[in-house]
Structure 1
């Protein structure tokens, strides 16, 4: 298999080719991670492109190369780095034939069509496994490949609701609340990536590809973790507690004079340090607050007393005092503050890359290091069909 010139031979998945038949978020997030690891990800898009190319505003616009003015949605740009874009109409004979040729030379296929759609096109698991036994076939759906809801479309907000997450997220006594980022999509994308990597490892031993399958609903249930475990163990239905922790106090968000700070007072020693650092000696001396159990049982009163005590400090003063005392803490940032933070800047989280029609665009770097190095952003998120001729030419 020919490795494109922009791939890094030192990355773990260098030489691995991925056919990406996904759109929107879960699948593209997965294939972006595979691309970050060095895989050659071929993003196959219909003639109109991935739906998220039109999800805006906001859009980024720029002059691009040779005067070509570009316009891309920030949503699309956020999950499509390190890929090549090919436009194929799978409803046409030529498009389907090109897809078959592409799949024949690839290691992994990732798809998030409704169950049964690719089978009708002759691109289902059984047909492709018979032709290409080493192919790893990864499917993403809303509700899985079987069951009464098999044919339903899957969207993040639906999964968050049906998986119970919205019932325990939000303010005390408030209505169900969706998490502010598409956690069902992102977590499912992370899980299917893990399954793909495991299947690649297994193929080294068996010589056979496997089908791996993730769905949004069960991913959200799994993400519930301790909340789900509490219900299964006790029958107690979790309810929203805001930013507090059900079993640890104080643990969560506290208000100070000019903002908010998150604290994690995970044991009684840290509680005493917390009180000493913030001149809350009276609270520290209260016997009813001396143990975590006592603080949990007196949560409402303690929160009121702490709020009064912290109002005289600025956010930075609280941070400085708690850091000196060794109490885990962190400011509550808006996004501008995130990327202005000297640690985030030192870690190189934001990366500017050349883009063929925008001139440049800024994306996040891969969120890990391998061999002490962060994998590079080798390719900017592609324009629609940017690499069609290039990729199809490699198949000749």
Structure 2
């Protein structure tokens, strides 16, 4: 895949990505999709563990999270590797890291040191518990942040242990908020010339999407519980069985519910006192779901979907990758974009998001295949290192 033109709004921004695994690299992916130059610093020979993560026979997660990035190598545990980062920082706008708090400081790369080199540098620090507080020194992965932030306690069935999502949502949320903070910090720097630290904790990122969970407990002593496939009191909004699979219907607003009743051939239900209002439907949620399920079982997914579209009821199939690849809406909006890899051939992955009308982001280049494959171009251009100097550093395990 030849590199495509950069039309993103961040095409004049340079990012040094020190992080590994998910949270730091996903933040870099978001910024890279928006046009930023991402220089990913990997441990020599070892590389980012994400190179070997994924599901199935072939591990392709790296192809998504490392797209639009350049790979350089540097051993950050030795002084010369740390000095390489300090020199890169002098010519960068943003640095991303997701190491355990205190690690940068141990390596001589503390924010005050980096800001002395580059006062305008924005430092995005993603960690389990944040850079301060009594838990800051603890190790923390996404699942721990999901538990502490309240997510795990309300996900799953009431009679079973807490469930998790099938993706690393805690890491991705913390990375997304880290990206948001970086963009806000860029705006501040435009006005003042000063950089700052963006402190994104996994548990706090999860807490941000927990709606009114804490105020509900404080004001009315309400404790949200696990409710499986429904939200308690929000009805009808569930997955219902059809003769050939499952289908999601969300008709909890009064007018929408009335349209669902029309689609079912049961218009009288909209006036039934058990179901006529939002509160009444919530009170009788179980029996209403059973009533709708009895109807959907007699139809195929296609038949139910046609009726939902006809009556303007929010509903949809439960998509897997196969349905996404076959769906005309995905194709029309280029939600999935095809790339051509020397290693894997042609395949599709999610496009950049969100969509910008004037400065669209996109996938300009594939994930770097080799660890440090851009050492010569990056270190040559930014640090003035020639082939002899690079070879000596490589021989000594610095890069």
**Fold-level similarity (TM above 0.5):** yes
Distance in structure 1 (CA, Å) of the matches to 2:377 and 2:313? 55
Q: Is 1:38 aligned with 2:35? A: yes
Distance in structure 2 (CA, Å) of the matches to 1:57 and 1:297? 42
Distance 1:364 1:152, change over 3 A: same
Alignment of structure 1 residues 115-134 onto 2, 5 Å: 115-134=101-120
Runs of 4+ in 1 over 6 A off after TM superposition: none
Match of 1:112 among 81, 98, 110: 98
Distance in structure 2 (CA, Å) of the matches to 1:56 and 1:43? 20
**Deviates further, 202-211 or 285-294:** 285-294
- Per-residue CA deviations over 1:58-101 (Å, capped at 9, x if unaligned) read 354xxxxxxxxxxxx32222211111011111123332222221
Distance in structure 2 (CA, Å) of the matches to 1:103 and 1:296? 55
Total equivalences in the alignment: 380
Query: Does the CA contact (< 8 Å) of 1:8 and 1:38 recur in 2?
Result: no
- Per-residue CA deviations over 1:218-257 (Å, capped at 9, x if unaligned) read 1112221133443343221111112212232101222222
Distance in structure 2 (CA, Å) of the matches to 1:232 and 1:256? 41
Q: Is 1:302 aligned with 2:300? A: no
Distance 1:246 1:88, change over 3 A: same
CA drift at 1:34: 0.6
Query: Does the CA contact (< 8 Å) of 1:278 and 1:318 recur in 2?
Result: no
Q: Is 1:27 aligned with 2:55? A: no
Q: Is 1:385 aligned with 2:382? A: no
**Deviates further, 301-310 or 83-92:** 301-310
CA drift at 1:382: 1.0
Distance 1:120 1:373, change over 3 A: closer
Distance in structure 2 (CA, Å) of the matches to 1:6 and 1:209? 31
CA drift at 1:147: 1.6
Unaligned stretches of 5+ residues in structure 2: 385-399
Paired residue secondary structure (2:16): strand
Unaligned stretches of 5+ residues in structure 1: 61-72
Distance in structure 2 (CA, Å) of the matches to 1:275 and 1:56? 43
**Deviates further, 316-325 or 284-293:** 284-293
Q: Is 1:371 aligned with 2:342? A: no
Distance in structure 1 (CA, Å) of the matches to 2:117 and 2:83? 14
Name the counterpart of 1:12.
9
Query: Does the CA contact (< 8 Å) of 2:82 and 2:108 recur in 1?
Result: no
Distance in structure 1 (CA, Å) of the matches to 2:51 and 2:250? 40
Name the counterpart of 2:48.
50
- Per-residue CA deviations over 1:129-159 (Å, capped at 9, x if unaligned) read 1221111111111001112211111211111
Distance in structure 2 (CA, Å) of the matches to 1:57 and 1:269? 43
Q: Normalized against structure 1, the TM-score is what?
A: 0.91
Name the counterpart of 1:245.
231
Paired residue secondary structure (1:178): coil
Distance in structure 1 (CA, Å) of the matches to 2:139 and 2:10? 31
Distance 1:354 1:162, change over 3 A: same
Match of 2:240 among 254, 258, 261: 254
Query: Does the CA contact (< 8 Å) of 1:280 and 1:309 recur in 2?
Result: no
Q: Is 1:288 aligned with 2:261? A: no
Alignment root-mean-square deviation, CA: 1.9
Distance 1:244 1:392, change over 3 A: same
CA drift at 1:54: 2.3
Paired residue secondary structure (2:212): helix
CA drift at 1:115: 0.8
Paired residue secondary structure (1:225): coil
Query: Does the CA contact (< 8 Å) of 2:233 and 2:285 recur in 1?
Result: no
Distance in structure 2 (CA, Å) of the matches to 1:135 and 1:227? 36
